[in-house]
A and B are shown apart, each in its own frame.
Chain A
Amino acid sequence: MPPYRKQILIGRGRGDQFQSIVELPKVNDKEVVPWVCEELEKILFFHPADLPFPAQLSVIGLSEGLITFTRIFSPEAACEVIEAEMHSHVFFEPEPDIWMVMVVEKSKETEAIFRTEALRTILKEIHSLFIMFHGSIRVLLDKEPGGGLTRSHLHTFIMDYLTDFLMGNKFVLPNFRDSLKERGTVQMLTVGREAAIEVQSLVGALDSCMANTLGYSVILFQDLLVSTTLSPEDTTNLFSYSTLRLTPRVLSSSSGGTSTWSYLRKGTTFVPSHADLASRSASNLSDENYRVVRPLQHGKWSKGKDGFLVTDIWGVEVGNLVPTTPTLWLQQTEHKMYLCSYQHKSLTILLLIPVTSMLNGEEGITSLKQQLLENVSTKIFKVEEKLAKGWGGENAYHVKGYRYLLVDGDRCVSRASPPGKVTTLTKESLLAMNKVREDVDLEKRRGNGGDDEKDLEICIRAKNNAWVIAKGTRGKELYIVLEKANETLLYASEAIEKFSDRYCNGAFSLD
């Protein structure tokens, strides 16, 4: 097996019968050809696509071999991770017999020290976003058993997604320095009572705008969620998509403007040369046979004069060149929805209207937009102004002396110290926190993520004298690093208590 660096692949389990559309390598050995063919059929996506087939098959073979092997002892949960001297292989089975595997190279020198669960969250996010726009992989495979349709969709989608991790020619994945972040969760804006009433009133106005369509609304300020009427899972997915492609920060950076502050991905700037990475490397997939929508394609969203966000990702109407309204699938209801986005300064409003209830299609959307402009725009301006006034800026959620991450697993919500503040921590503290989180992840996985999660408290004084603390109670987790040297365990505990009382409604307090 040749050396491999970072690879991400999706394979499917044995037992699927379909023909490969992948071009076979020229192999002289006649016996080998059918076998290679069978093996290649399993690969739905592989990056880097230019890796020689034998090497690709090696990775697939090892992954599949270990999935089968581990099922001997653990039939209910097959292989989750392989830790080797130089690589980690992280596994995720998003749908029965569909496997995603990420292979990362470990290196102390390049700071490539990862937390398995953080890497798995990337795989989860890819899959969640994929099904939001394209439906499940299994449904796609059923639709076209040849697999070509699935491969085309996966390839363009994942490659578009991965461009966000590209720095130059290298992928930069979340490492130990991101141990005070939680991908796959929503970050909320804290609003005062008065603003909350205004927001509530806006939500009501949006509801009446959508009238009888049983639509949903999501409101964001900057990269933070203000309000949602969706389920937590759907909110998380839509929030992820918005902060990747829709919020004012993203739009301004992709249109060539200076990158503004990002709560989520500070410093991640889009490099235009990567925009067509998917198209370039997809050339050998013959995807021209399929019409592939690329919701994650960079630079495709822009703000129209009327304040609505427009894109031609979903195509344009024949004749008048008006872009088709984007559609997506809700995970909870499995309904197909129109996505209608409006932006005013820092405020982004997303409306989701069931396709089935919009009988006159695009015409209905146009009239909905018109209604919104006429009836709700004043409210929107007012709310934006109010929120902007109360907004503390980049370091709004900084708590002096603390570097923290607070996760509410039940609501998929997290809050953390601003990235700029976390970077002031030493490498030792962050490595220690990374390890503590790895241990807590393991405990959680072993508890099978049941509702009756145990209470847990870990306070470690690391060798650099920093206190690295993890507390978990009733689905909530709090991680804190205190770097004040020469402080005692009791001092650290008291500090946590204060933090819990003040910022977590006492969730982590003793009494």
Chain B
Amino acid sequence: MTSHSSSSSFPDNDDEPAGPKRNTDDNIGSIDYSLDAIENQLSSIALKTSIDGERPSVADDHHELLTETAKGSSREIESERPINSTGESNLSTETGVWRNSSEVEVDGATSSPCSSGYAGEMGTSSGTASASGADDVQQHRNSSSSEGNNGEVLHSAQSQWVPGKRHVDEDDTCMSWRQRKKHFFVLSHSGKPIFSRYGNEHKLAGFSATLQAIISFVEDGGDRVHLVRAGKHQVVFLVKGPIYLVCISCTEEPYESLQGQLELLHGQMVLILTKSVNRCFEKNPKFDMTPLLGGTDAVFSSLFHSFSWNPASFLHAYTCLPLPCTTRQAAAAILQDVSDSGVIYAMLMCKYKVVSLVGAQKAPLHPDDLLLLANFIMSSESFRTSESFSPICLPRYNSMAFLHAYIYYFDVDTYLVLLTSNSDAFFHLKDCRIRIETVLLHSNVLSDIQRSISEGGMHVENLPLYPSNRYGSLFHTEPKPHETSVGTGGPGGLWHFIYRSMNLDQYISSQFSSPITNYKNQKRLYRAYQKLHASMHHQQTGPHKTQFKKDDNYVLLCWVTQEFELYAAFDPLADKGSAIKICNRLYGEKDEDKGMQFENNFNIVFKGTTDFKCDMQAKVE
């Protein structure tokens, strides 16, 4: 496992130290000075200019970090988190008082769900961590530089990427740590480190106190710091009650995107713990939250990885696996059937894609909740090995309370999630799952899913040159060999597009075509879309209607209406006029065709096709 993860893990470019490699010994002397200096500059002002609020002392905090872990405040969570786990837990004492289960007898070991999905993750994440942590900067650079030549496509990047915390041995005195492209930190309002993407939280206590000092200093002045910009670096701050989140990045992503990522990071924590953790800070400002997140490294690293490939993280929409309408309807019918019996949301998923999603509630499941839930399930190995019943919180649905998720994998990619508020519903949901599985097998839904996976998604090459073809033309009409999803580019120099339906909160994204064949190019396009999205939806000036952007890499065309958004990437030499024509064609030339070529890519069970058609009433100019 160890050797495997170090050699085959797909490195996230953010891991890569930014900029030219500097002499590691350089500036180390000034590093210690730097933190001390900032502490002095900020905290001494706070102390000596009659602002006598508590300043976090680095040394003190560090001590408390070590001693407070086992103190009672963490038990607050224990009592507030519903304990519904069945079966045996293999938790270490460190990974959560609250996960100790009240044991419920279950027949047979195989039918016993894990107490929680990420409980079994300790082995994976720590194994990965130790493997990657052993990488030195140079090795790391080598592995990331080779990625560009592998010709791997994004989905294979996903499958090869191994979740887990990297570079655990680093701290802020290491030059390699400082050169990481994108850091995420979570700390408490008293300056205690809760989480750091890279490095050891305990060793970063001093750095964490510095971040706290900056935030508090500005807050003491009656203001709130959002962003600090320095050269290619941005430091983005987000305050969520007693929890402070900070991102330090030189990835050139827009501020709005980074802020959105911090929101999702917070949401992922809430999904695991609920917002009631805030009460612990009310009772004890120096409460140490770190142990509560023990074993969840893989969940967070997987989330950070998704920030560089998953459009859902900035579009706030979800995507579906392309399937014939009848297949999706068959899946929806049985899920709907089940949801009438106390299931709040029922979803059949294929990796991050929705096969079918139904809910008893009038409120649709928020795409961010879906993203965080899918990330949580996908990044936790233990869910794959047995059926599970895990308490989870949907931050957008109700951030204060736990729901219970019944999770079952039908095969390596396809899984069922049934959400209920009833903590005793495990056996009922198990029965539901058996019914669902029977129907899915009978109606060939599971085999259709496999076929869809092997066929891949929409290909721009299949876009008709003339607007005579009916919808469905973007799909493969005949099965294509497995994993030959890189195309040659579409008409008019079209390389890629994303279409988002506003009414459905769903998007579709075409397969990558030449020359966007490797992970580096795909990530670059992803970032370009991110910028385009942020620019179109700027708080002060947006939403804009149309944007045409041309640089050395692409011609990008974005078109936003009340019904949909279209993002399309073309060859940088593409003609403006033909790019516009292609966008119109993508969308459908005739009124009755509007967007219908995307019909098989949306989960439209509850909206109905008429609603879907209503989406499609505009034309780019």
Contact A65 B38 (CB under 8 A): yes
Which of B41, B51, B210, B231 is the one whose CB lies under 8 Å from A77?
B231
Is there a chain A Cβ closer than 8 Å to B498's Cβ?
A: no
Interface members, chain A 32-73 (any B CB < 8 Å): 32, 35-36, 39, 54, 57-58, 61-62, 64-66, 68-73
Contact A68 B34 (CB under 8 A): yes
Scoring B35, B213, B541, B620 by chain A CB atoms within 10 A of each residue's CB, the highest score goes to B541
With A84-B224, A84-B226 already in contact, the answer to whether A457 and B172 are too (CB < 8 A) is no
Contact A461 B230 (CB under 8 A): no
Is there a chain B Cβ closer than 8 Å to A399's Cβ?
A: no
Is there a chain B Cβ closer than 8 Å to A367's Cβ?
A: no
Is there a chain A Cβ closer than 8 Å to B442's Cβ?
A: no
Which of B220, B250, B621 is the one whose CB lies under 8 Å from A74?
B250
Q: With a CB–CB cut-off of 8 A, which chain A residues contact B248?
A: 73
**Chain B interface category by residue count:** 35 or more
Contact A70 B233 (CB under 8 A): yes
Contact A458 B45 (CB under 8 A): no
Q: With a CB–CB cut-off of 8 A, which chain A residues contact B230?
A: 70-71, 73-74, 77-80
A27 (CB) vs chain B CBs: closest residue: B48
User: Per-residue CB proximity of A431-464 to B under 8 Å, as 1/0?
Assistant: 1101100010000011000000011111111110
Interface members, chain B 219-264 (any A CB < 8 Å): 220-233, 235, 248, 250, 252, 255
Inter-chain CA distance A77–B231, complex, in Å, is: 5
Inter-chain CA distance A70–B232, complex, in Å, is: 11
Contact B232 A77 (CB under 8 A): yes
Is there a chain A Cβ closer than 8 Å to B37's Cβ?
A: yes
Is there a chain B Cβ closer than 8 Å to A257's Cβ?
A: no
With A77-B230, A84-B224, A490-B576 already in contact, the answer to whether A72 and B544 are too (CB < 8 A) is no
A105 (CB) vs chain B CBs: closest residue: B223
Contact B229 A455 (CB under 8 A): no
Is there a chain A Cβ closer than 8 Å to B550's Cβ?
A: yes
Contact A4 B221 (CB under 8 A): yes
Which of B50, B229, B552 is the one whose CB lies under 8 Å from A54?
B50
Q: With a CB–CB cut-off of 8 A, which chain A residues contact B213?
A: 65
Inter-chain CA distance A61–B217, complex, in Å, is: 9
Contact B552 A446 (CB under 8 A): no
Scoring A69, A454, A456, A489 by chain B CB atoms within 10 A of each residue's CB, the highest score goes to A69
B538 (CB) vs chain A CBs: closest residue: A435
Contact B233 A73 (CB under 8 A): yes
Interface members, chain B 198-226 (any A CB < 8 Å): 210, 213-214, 217-218, 220-226
Scoring B41, B218, B230 by chain A CB atoms within 10 A of each residue's CB, the highest score goes to B230
Is there a chain B Cβ closer than 8 Å to A76's Cβ?
A: yes
Contact A462 B544 (CB under 8 A): yes
Contact A62 B546 (CB under 8 A): no
Which of B34, B232, B250, B541 is the one whose CB lies under 8 Å from A431?
B541
B553 (CB) vs chain A CBs: closest residue: A454
Which of B50, B214, B222, B580 is the one whose CB lies under 8 Å from A69?
B214
Which of A64, A70, A83, A454 is the one whose CB lies under 8 Å from B226?
A83
Inter-chain CA distance A57–B49, complex, in Å, is: 8
Inter-chain CA distance A14–B367, complex, in Å, is: 49
Inter-chain CA distance A438–B506, complex, in Å, is: 31
Inter-chain CA distance A435–B217, complex, in Å, is: 29
Is there a chain A Cβ closer than 8 Å to B551's Cβ?
A: yes
With A61-B217, A458-B547 already in contact, the answer to whether A435 and B228 are too (CB < 8 A) is no
Q: With a CB–CB cut-off of 8 A, which chain A residues contact B221?
A: 1-4, 58, 62
Is there a chain A Cβ closer than 8 Å to B29's Cβ?
A: no
Q: With a CB–CB cut-off of 8 A, which chain B residues contact A439?
A: 535
Nearest-neighbour CB distance to chain A for B518, whole angstroms, equals 21
B35 (CB) vs chain A CBs: closest residue: A72
Contact B542 A463 (CB under 8 A): yes
Which of A14, A459, A462 is the one whose CB lies under 8 Å from B541?
A462
Contact A57 B45 (CB under 8 A): yes
Is there a chain B Cβ closer than 8 Å to A211's Cβ?
A: no
Inter-chain CA distance A36–B233, complex, in Å, is: 32
Nearest-neighbour CB distance to chain B for A97, whole angstroms, equals 13
Contact B210 A69 (CB under 8 A): yes
Is there a chain B Cβ closer than 8 Å to A366's Cβ?
A: no
Nearest-neighbour CB distance to chain A for B71, whole angstroms, equals 31
Q: With a CB–CB cut-off of 8 A, which chain B residues contact A57?
A: 45, 49
Which of B51, B214, B535, B550 is the one whose CB lies under 8 Å from A65?
B214
Inter-chain CA distance A439–B232, complex, in Å, is: 14
With A2-B221, A84-B218, A457-B548 already in contact, the answer to whether A113 and B227 are too (CB < 8 A) is no
Which of A4, A14, A36, A465 is the one whose CB lies under 8 Å from B37?
A14
Interface members, chain B 152-211 (any A CB < 8 Å): 172, 178, 210
Scoring B31, B552, B621 by chain A CB atoms within 10 A of each residue's CB, the highest score goes to B621
Contact A79 B217 (CB under 8 A): no
Contact A431 B540 (CB under 8 A): yes
Inter-chain CA distance A458–B538, complex, in Å, is: 15
Which of B34, B45, B218, B224 is the one whose CB lies under 8 Å from A71?
B34
User: Per-residue CB proximity of B489-504 to A under 8 Å, as 1/0?
Assistant: 0000000000000000
Is there a chain A Cβ closer than 8 Å to B70's Cβ?
A: no
Which of A58, A66, A459 is the one whose CB lies under 8 Å from B45?
A58
Q: With a CB–CB cut-off of 8 A, which chain A residues contact B535?
A: 435, 439, 460
Is there a chain B Cβ closer than 8 Å to A85's Cβ?
A: yes
Is there a chain A Cβ closer than 8 Å to B291's Cβ?
A: no
Is there a chain A Cβ closer than 8 Å to B285's Cβ?
A: no
Which of B41, B538, B550 is the one whose CB lies under 8 Å from A457?
B550
Q: With a CB–CB cut-off of 8 A, which chain A residues contact B552?
A: 454-455
Is there a chain A Cβ closer than 8 Å to B149's Cβ?
A: no
Interface members, chain B 40-76 (any A CB < 8 Å): 41-42, 44-45, 48-51
Inter-chain CA distance A66–B229, complex, in Å, is: 10
Contact B231 A64 (CB under 8 A): no
Nearest-neighbour CB distance to chain B for A498, whole angstroms, equals 15
Which of A66, A460, A463 is the one whose CB lies under 8 Å from B214?
A66
Q: With a CB–CB cut-off of 8 A, which chain B residues contact A431?
A: 540-541
Which of A1, A435, A463, A490 is the one whose CB lies under 8 Å from B545?
A463
Is there a chain A Cβ closer than 8 Å to B464's Cβ?
A: no
Nearest-neighbour CB distance to chain A for B547, whole angstroms, equals 5
Q: With a CB–CB cut-off of 8 A, which chain A residues contact B228?
A: 66, 69-70, 79, 81-83
Further pairs besides A62-B45, A69-B34: 10, Cβ < 8 Å: A1-B51, A29-B48, A62-B41, A65-B41, A80-B229, A83-B225, A87-B223, A490-B576, A493-B548, A493-B576
List 28 A-B residue pairs with CB atoms under 8 Å apart, sorted by A's residue number. Answer: A1-B217, A3-B222, A36-B48, A61-B41, A61-B45, A62-B217, A65-B37, A65-B213, A68-B37, A69-B235, A73-B250, A79-B230, A83-B227, A83-B228, A83-B255, A84-B224, A85-B224, A431-B540, A434-B541, A435-B540, A455-B550, A455-B552, A458-B548, A460-B547, A461-B546, A462-B541, A462-B544, A490-B580
Interface positions of A (Cβ within 8 A of B): 1-4, 14, 29, 32, 35-36, 39, 54, 57-58, 61-62, 64-66, 68-87, 113, 428, 431-432, 434-435, 439, 445-446, 454-463, 465, 488-490, 493
